[in-house]
Amino acid sequence: MSYSSTTSIVVDDVSKTFKLRYHRTLKQMTVAAAKGRDISDTFTALDKVSFTVEQGESIGLMGLNGSGKSTLLKLVNGVMRPDSGQVLTRGRIAGLIATGAGFHPQLTGRDNVYLNAAILGMSERETNRKFDEIVEFADIGKFLETPVGHYSSGMFARLGFAVAVHVESDIFLVDEVLAVGDRPFKRKCIERMQQVRAEGRTLFYVSHAAGSVKKMCDRVIVLEKGRVGYDGEVTAGIKYLKYDGDDEERPDETEDEEYGADV
């Protein structure tokens, strides 16, 4: 696969398979094996997926639950590796790929801002400079001084997105952030992502919401059972999925999690 000096993301013939375990304990597996039952199986989350993204493109990654969207995002982010093929990225990557990712439950919101910012590549000086903006954006009030283990999923999303969006990155990944929280916060997230897009950064946005994809993206990639079913213009991609809804306030759905495998 050829690519230019302006290419931001390369996904080249990528496959990823998970092992699905039907039984949790050693006793259960022993009994099942003695009775001749299957104790595990494999599931192909991604099957020979290929595409390139140029710097500054805004990509809407769409598909039904279980199609492989979250797995692909984690591969692009570098928290997973493909079983075959390669994923190449250029520059610093930031974003929210899972609610609560990168947070320590026993630390306060304040401490986790610094922890999460460091994980995303921000220096302490940079975090100090942006701390007040991050806290204002998250708008979690007195809970900033509370251990995040007591946070709701909405509060996790607020703080996680607030940190990620203030990282000076070349690629911004978003999954699940609009699945939780109230409508004003969702609007604030959309507005901030539009700023990210206007800054010329690459945006990779997983969503089921046709309205927000139309607003945010100039290209849609649709995954179907781990393969690229469509890659092209936004409106045609939404029609390909047969999505009737066009409401940007419609909450995104998260990926199915079966047998401990997030696909």
Going from the C-alpha of 131 to that of each of 12, 48, 143, the distances in angstroms are 38, 41, 15
What does the block give as tokens for 196? Answer: 């990210």
> What's the confidence (pLDDT) of residue 100?
66
Beta carbons of 77 and 69 less than 8 angstroms apart: no
Residue 256 has pLDDT above 80, yes or no: no
Query: What is the per-residue pLDDT across 24-68, written as a single tens digit (0 to 9) for each?
Result: 666 666 766 676 666 557 888 999 999 999 999 999 999 988 899
Average pLDDT score, the chain:
83
Q: Residue 251: pLDDT band by 50, 70, 90 thresholds?
A: very low
Residue 258 has pLDDT above 50, yes or no: no
> What's the confidence (pLDDT) of residue 178?
60
Torsion 17-23-29-34 (CA) sign? negative
**Residue 193, Cβ neighbours under 10 Å: how many?**
25
| Cα gap 177→165, rounded to integer Å | 11
> What's the confidence (pLDDT) of residue 184?
84
**Residue 61, Cβ neighbours under 10 Å: how many?**
25
Query: What is the per-residue pLDDT across 161-196, written as a single tens digit (0 to 9) for each?
Result: 899 999 999 999 988 656 666 788 888 888 888 999
| Cα gap 112→135, rounded to integer Å | 11
pTM of this structure: 0.79
At 159 the three-state DSSP class reads helix
Architecture of domain 7-91+170-262: 3-Layer(aba) Sandwich (3.40)
DSSP string, 188-209: HHHHHHHHHHHTT-EEEEE-S-
